[in-house]
C-alpha cells in the first residue's frame, strides 16, 4: 500500500517542528512498508517554499522561529532523501495528469466545503497515484480525503 504525505507533514518532519510526531509517524512500521513515499513536482515545490515561509513567519509574523541554518539543513536533508529514494521518491506526476481528478474534486466539494487549491491538488495527486492512505496535519485536506474514501491520519 502506498501512502501520501502532504507538504505540511514533510515541512514539519524536515524542520523537526512537532516534537517528533511526524518522525514517529513516518517511521511507523506500517508507513515504512509503504516507503518510498511519492513526491510530485507540486509537492516538492510546496515543501521548498514552506520551509522558507517558516523562516519568514518566525521573523515577521511571530510564528515559531526557524533560523536560516535550520532551514538550510532541512532543504539539504529533503534533497538528500529525494536523491537516495529511501523515504521519498520523486514522482513525475504532471498537472495535466492530475487536472481531471482536480476538476472533479473542485466541482464536487469546494462550493460546499471551501477547500483550498493545495488541499485539492494533494488529494487529487493521492487519488491519481492510487495511494491507500493520506497523512496530513491539515484538517481540511484530511476532510477532503475522507470524503473521497481515502483512509487518513490527521496528525494533531
What contacts 97, CB < 8 A, 6 or more positions away? 128
Element (H, E) at 8: helix 7-15
Average pLDDT estimate for 84-101 = 95
Instruction: Name the superfamily (CATH) of residues 3-154.
Output: 5'-nuclease (3.40.50.1010)
Is the per-residue pLDDT at 63 higher than 70? no
pLDDT at residue number 104:
98
Distance, in Å, from the CA atom of 16 to the CA atom of 47, rounded to the nearest integer, reads 14
For residue range 101-110, what is the model confidence (pLDDT) as tens digits? Answer: 999 999 999 9
Average pLDDT estimate for 42-55 = 96
Instruction: Report the mean per-residue pLDDT for the chain.
Output: 92
Q: Model confidence at 41, in pLDDT bands (50, 70, 90)?
A: very high
Residue 138 grid coordinates = 491539515
Distance, in Å, from the CA atom of 143 to the CA atom of 152, rounded to the nearest integer, reads 9
Is the per-residue pLDDT at 156 higher than 90? no
Amino acid at each position: 500500500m502506498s501512502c501520501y504525505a502532504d507538504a505540511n507533514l514533510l515541512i514539519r518532519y524536515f524542520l523537526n517542528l512537532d516534537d517528533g510526531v511526524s518522525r514517529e509517524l513516518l517511521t511507523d512500521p506500517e508507513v515504512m512498508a509503504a516507503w518510498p513515499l511519492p513526491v510530485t513536482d507540486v509537492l516538492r515545490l510546496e515543501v521548498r517554499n514552506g520551509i522558507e515561509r517558516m523562516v519568514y513567519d518566525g521573523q515577521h509574523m511571530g510564528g515559531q522561529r526557524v533560523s536560516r541554518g535550520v532551514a538550510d539543513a532541512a532543504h539539504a536533508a529533503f534533497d538528500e532523501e529525494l536523491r537516495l529514494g529511501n523515504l521519498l521518491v520523486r514522482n513525475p506526476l504532471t498537472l495535466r495528469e492530475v487536472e481531471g481528478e482536480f476538476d472533479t474534486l473542485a466541482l464536487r466539494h469546494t462550493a460546499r466545503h471551501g477547500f483550498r487549491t493545495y488541499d485539492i491538488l494533494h488529494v487529487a495527486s493521492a487519488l491519481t497515484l492510487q495511494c491507500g492512505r493520506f497523512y496530513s496535519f491539515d484538517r481540511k485536506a484530511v476532510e477532503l480525503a475522507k470524503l473521497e474514501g481515502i483512509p487518513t491520519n490527521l496528525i494533531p
